[in-house]
Amino acid sequence: MFMSQHPLKRRLLAAGVHLGISIAIAALAAWLVFAVWYPYPYREISGGRELFLIVVTVDVILGPLLTLAVFDIKKSLETLRLDLAVIGLFQLVALAYGLWTVVVVRPVHLAFEMDRFRVIHALEIPADELTQAPPEFQRLPLTGPTLLSLRNFKDDKERFEATMTALQGVPLGARPGLWQTYAQAKPQVLAHARPLEELKTRFPARVAEIDGALASASRGSDTMKATGYLPMIGRKTFWTALIDTRTAEVIAFVPIDSF
Same domain for 90 and 64: yes
Residue 127 — pLDDT band, cuts 50, 70, 90? confident
Q: What is the pLDDT of residue 116?
A: 95
120 lies in the same domain as 170: yes
124 in the same domain as 97: no
Is residue 12 domain-shared with residue 80, that is, in the same domain?
yes
Position 11 scores a pLDDT of 78
Number of domains the chain is built from: 3
Percentage of the residues of the chain whose pLDDT score is greater than 70: 95
Residue 215 has pLDDT above 60, yes or no: yes
Question: Is 2 a member of any domain?
Answer: no
pLDDT digits (tens, 9 = 90+) for 155-168: 888 888 888 888 88
Asked whether residue 166 is domain-assigned, the answer is yes
- Is the pLDDT reported for residue 251 higher than 80? yes
Q: What percent of the chain has pLDDT over 90?
A: 42
CA–CA separation, 112 and 126 (whole Å): 19
Which segment of 58-62, 109-113, 138-142 scores lowest on mean pLDDT? 58-62
Both 202 and 238 in one domain: the answer is yes
Indicate whether 92 belongs to any domain. Answer: yes
Work out the average pLDDT over 42-54. Answer: 81
Q: What is the phi-psi region of residue 190: left when phi exceeds 0, alpha when psi lies from -120 to 50, beta otherwise?
A: alpha
177 and 93 in a single domain? The answer is no
| pLDDT, greater one: 238 or 11 | 238
* 84 and 112 together in one domain: no
Is the pLDDT score of 222 beyond 60?
Answer: no
Top mean-pLDDT range of 2-6, 35-39, 95-99, 187-191: 187-191
- Tell me: do 116 and 137 sit in the same domain: yes
Say yes or no: 112 and 45 in one domain.
no
Q: For residue 147, give every residue at least 6 positions away whose Cβ sits within 8 Å of its Cβ, in sequence order, or none.
A: 109, 110, 111, 112, 182, 250
What's the average model confidence in pLDDT over 182-201?
96
User: How does the average pLDDT of the chain come out, rounded?
Assistant: 87
Residue 42 lies in a domain: yes
pLDDT of residue 3: 47
pLDDT of 210 higher than 80: yes
Count the alpha carbons within 13 Å of 212 in the hemisphere toward its beta carbon: 7
Structural domain including 126 reads 108-183
Domain shared by 63 and 86, yes or no: yes
Kindly indicate the confidence band of residue 115, based on its pLDDT and cuts at 50, 70 and 90: very high
- Within a domain: 158: yes
Query: Is 188 inside any structural domain?
Result: no
Higher-pLDDT residue of 144 and 232 is 232
Q: Is residue 1 part of a domain?
A: no
Residue 1 has pLDDT above 80, yes or no: no
Please report whether residue 159 resides in a domain.
yes
Query: What is the structure's pLDDT at 165?
Result: 83
Tell me the three-class secondary structure of 49-80, residue by residue.
HHHHHHHHHHHHHHHHHHHHHHCCCCCCHHHH
pLDDT at 111: 96
> Does residue 168 share a domain with residue 150?
yes
